[in-house]
Amino acid sequence: MKLLHKDIEKDNAGQVTLMPEEAEDMWHTYNLLQIGDSLMASTIRKVQTESSTGSVGSSRVRTTLCVCVDTIDFDSQACQLRVKGTNIQENQYVKMGAYHTIELELNRKFTLAKKIWDSVVLDRIEQACDPTQKADVAAVVMQEGLANLVLVTPAMTLLRAKVEVTIPRKRKGSCTQHEKALERFYEAVMQAILRHINFDVVKCILVASPGFVKDQFIAYLFREAVRQDSKILLENRPKFMLVHSSSGHKYSLKEILCDPAVTARLSDTKAAGEVKALEDFYKMLQHEPDRAFYGHQDVATRSRYVRLVDNVRDNGGTVRIFSSLHVSGEQLTQLSGVAAILRFPIADLSEPEDDSSSDDE
């Protein structure tokens, strides 16, 4: 998704202009749209024409309409998004108040206006427009003296660092210069990993090389992690996966991603964090029910959910928004859509509230 323009006032009213660039962007757009929003986009309209002789015909013209959103229809299989609403701006082809359907298209911009842009929606835009937020796979493709660190998104690979260090050949009776150069090389690659990989987003780091370069690097990496007490590396050690590549050049990434073992490992990285969170919740619900709570249908309005999200974040909690198109989101929907793992057990939280108790709080 590309953010072309953003104009949001202090009262959180305003508009943004976006351009969807890939199918996944339609899913983000679907989540941005709400009934009552104003949507401006290019669309096709069938219009009637009358000639000088009085004969009536029809033609299809492309025009720009602005509608007040009334119905949102998302086809998850085809990633097609249709928005129905009434025209709210004068147009030579469409009368004010006329009903029209706009089908949003890839690589065609649209402008969305809201009376209130809440924090959840703004986070969604940031996530959709920042390619690094989609890159839940990273890869270090290396050979002696050369390493390419890339982030992998559903649509592209982003080169984040290229490390080149001259490695002298081993000499008879002395390997000191060779070993020192290798250590400088491994150190530079380690620093690139720490600088460019967001371990909160990335679920898997592929380390690939011909021969044993990858194995020697990983041995160095975690030896240094222990020596330096690098908790971020030690805690994320299970995310590293060693694979073979024919070289340390970026083009070798294609063969790596076609490896069946890699494909199996990456098959669900995008929602791995959400799946783990839901598993933790169900375990908590089974073993410590006083620390696991889920919502009810009467927590209905979006504004209450937004306040809940903001309050949790303000108090240092973690909020995960699940995709309803993933199995983890489907499971959460069975619990009425919202669930929480508490820091402390609250035994009577699920008891019915007594109206009279509010006077004592």
Q: What is the CATH number of the domain that holds 159?
A: 3.30.420.60
Whether residue 204 is found in the same domain as residue 309: no
Whether residue 66 is found in the same domain as residue 19: yes
* Domain containing residue 90: CATH number: 2.30.30.870
Instruction: Give pLDDT, residue 317.
Output: 80
| Rounded Cα–Cα distance for residues 276 and 282 (Å) | 10
Whether residue 254 is found in the same domain as residue 162: yes
Instruction: Give pLDDT, residue 328.
Output: 47
Whether residue 25 is found in the same domain as residue 92: yes
Domain termination residue (choose one: 79, 98, 129): 129
Instruction: Quote the pTM value.
Output: 0.51
Number of domains in the chain: 3
In a domain, 353, yes or no: no
Give yes or no for residue 215 having a pLDDT over 70.
yes
Question: How confident is the model over 170-188, as pLDDT tens digits?
Answer: 777 667 888 999 999 999 9
Mean pLDDT across the chain: 81
What is the secondary structure of 304-339 as a DSSP string? Answer: HHHHHHHHHHHTT-------TTSHHHHHHHTTTT-E
Domain termination residue (choose one: 218, 250, 268): 268
In a domain, 357, yes or no: no
Instruction: Give pLDDT, residue 354.
Output: 47
Tokens of 61: 């013209």
Whether residue 239 is found in the same domain as residue 153: yes
Whether residue 243 is found in the same domain as residue 293: no
In a domain, 350, yes or no: no
In a domain, 189, yes or no: yes
Whether residue 146 is found in the same domain as residue 264: yes
Domain termination residue (choose one: 96, 129, 162): 129
Residues 208 and 243 sit within 8 Å (Cβ to Cβ):
yes
Determine the average pLDDT of the residues in 134-153: 89
In a domain, 245, yes or no: yes
| Max avg pLDDT among 108-112, 199-203, 277-281, 334-338 | 108-112
| Max avg pLDDT among 86-90, 250-254, 338-342 | 86-90
Residues 232 and 202 sit within 8 Å (Cβ to Cβ):
no
* Domain containing residue 309: CATH number: 3.30.1330.30
How many Cα neighbours within 13 Å face the side chain of 74?
16
Q: Which of 12-21, 125-134, 223-232 has the lowest mean pLDDT?
A: 125-134
Provide the domain limits for residue 123.
2-47+58-129
Whether residue 199 is found in the same domain as residue 239: yes
